[in-house]
Amino acid sequence: MDFNGRTFWKHPTGKGLKVKVPVAGESLPQGPQNAPHNPIALNQYHVSPSFPIVPPSTLECLRTKIRSFLGGQGPRSSPLSASKMGKTPSSSYSTSALLPPSTKMSSGVSFQTQGRHWRIGRTWYDFSTFDHPGGSEILYLARDRFSDSTYAFESHHMDQEKARKIIKKYAVGEELQKELERLNPTPAPKLTKPGDFYYDLRLRVLVMFREKSSKAGNSRGKKVNVGPTPLCLNLFYASFLVWVFAVYNTLYVNPSVVSAVFQGVAGAVLGAFGHNWIHQPKYKFYALLSLDTIGFSSTGWYREHILQHHMYTNTPLDNHFRGTDPFLITDPTVPRNFFQKYVTPILNPVILTFGLWGNYGFHLGEVLKGNEPVSIGKLFLPTLVYLFYSTSGVYGLGLFWLNTATTSIYYFTMALMNHNSENTLNVKTRNEAKDWGEAQISSCADWSIQGKFLPSIIYLWLNYHCVHHLFPLTDFSHHRDIQGILMETCRDHGVEYVAGEFWTIYKEMVESFSSPRSLFMEINCYNGS
């Protein structure tokens, strides 16, 4: 796109809304084609703000590189933090503290970043001196890689009353608020309020956890436990040992097709645990043991899965939205060619055999380009490839490929079912969602919702996916407890909730690959704006 102005964005099909990019210093006319409500154009297609972009200083670039090498962790305090200025964040500001928004890539999608401050519910905050209980890394990733922090704040703090009281004192002053709004014209969702679907659902679930805590002999006023149950932890330890045994068995004891397939199944179960652990800071090392060992990246998932896929599910800002292009098309708004309509949907199991390698290769490319930090986890997969080749030659490589193919088919089939059923691709329903929680209900598919924790292992615990998206910090061993509250709240608020049968949803997924369900429609990326 030409950032000197006079450039327009068009729908990939050649149809759709056009958005004019203003020249520096030029105001944006508020006509029907230029109203700044189009989140797709404003974010994915780099709409330039009406002021010249000032590149960061050499020192700032160096700081960014250092933070990237350390895994994206930001500084504990900024050079212009309130403590060093001798003032509270809201009292005053220096113009040098402002950082014009820049564009950052996150797994193939571009976002206009928030500068030196955080935007939550249309209010700007300075958390540079805040000791975040969940760690500083996730705090700075939310600011430095994405355009808004509202959804991340709402979905990761069940006790909103307490969380909002804490952050209130970090709000910047009125003058700085206005200047930051001018510098950041991207869509800004509002915080939910009492009476909204997601606000009420969150409160009901919090009450449930407090009651469970009280029955366990703890004070109702203390922090509730949403972490793994003892059964969940013990099952993880057993699953990891089974995977280690499976690798050893295929390498040195019985290098056969059956052994390789068994290793692949064990790897898929381990990956399911990694999907669970990546959301819980306390178990981040477990995520590395579960994801990096089988070829995924826990560092990549920590950003793209938590702050991108979960926040912008089934929109162009979701890194999964075009993850299988050009073979399996999941965008419901674009037409399919002959090959995509009649051939690849039927061959989806064959295509998915390459899923793990595609995931590894894409992330490795981002690391080499400097977009992602280097991690020791990137060495695990090539090490296993070397071991299989050194023990059994080309035959060993074939066995290892069969193992990764099994893991890929098993895991990615379940994951694609979660977001490609008929209900999840109804763009009209999603656009009408009044808040982020309602949008998640419209973007996730559930099945076997009465299943207990242990039997749900066959679905890799992805069958309670709406609950998982709405409460990402909550361990999947609690999902069944929340399911009834979710359905009751949907009924009370008139929110349509659809749960299906496994094979019905699988069939709908294959059909969605073949046929667009919301052709030429525009997707609202920021529900509640």
Tell me, what amino acid is at 75? P
Whether the per-residue pLDDT at 245 is higher than 80: the answer is yes
Q: What is the pLDDT of residues 380-389, one digit of tens each?
A: 999 999 999 9
Q: What is the pLDDT of residues 398-425, one digit of tens each?
A: 999 999 999 999 999 999 999 999 999 9
pLDDT score at 485:
98
- Give the whole-angstrom CA distance, residue 396 versus residue 356: 18
- Give the whole-angstrom CA distance, residue 516 versus residue 484: 32
pLDDT score at 100:
64
Considering only CA atoms, which of 179, 169, 177 is closest in space to residue 82? 169
Rounded mean pLDDT of the chain? Answer: 84
Question: 482 to each of 274, 288, 440, how far by Cα in Å?
Answer: 21, 27, 15
Across 87-96, 222-231, 476-485, least confident range: 87-96
DSSP alpha helices (H): ranges in 369-442? 380-419, 427-431, 436-441
pTM confidence score: 0.81
The average pLDDT across 30-45 equals 35
- Give the whole-angstrom CA distance, residue 44 versus residue 381: 32
Cβ-contact 268, 239 below 8 angstroms? no
Tell me, what amino acid is at 180? L
CA contacts within 13 A on the Cβ side of 217: 0
Q: What is the pLDDT of residues 356-382, one digit of tens each?
A: 999 999 999 999 998 889 999 999 999
Considering only CA atoms, which of 528, 109, 158 is closest in space to residue 303? 109
- Listed in sequence order, the residues at least 6 apart from 8 whose beta carbon sits closer than 8 Å to its beta carbon are 18, 19, 20, 21
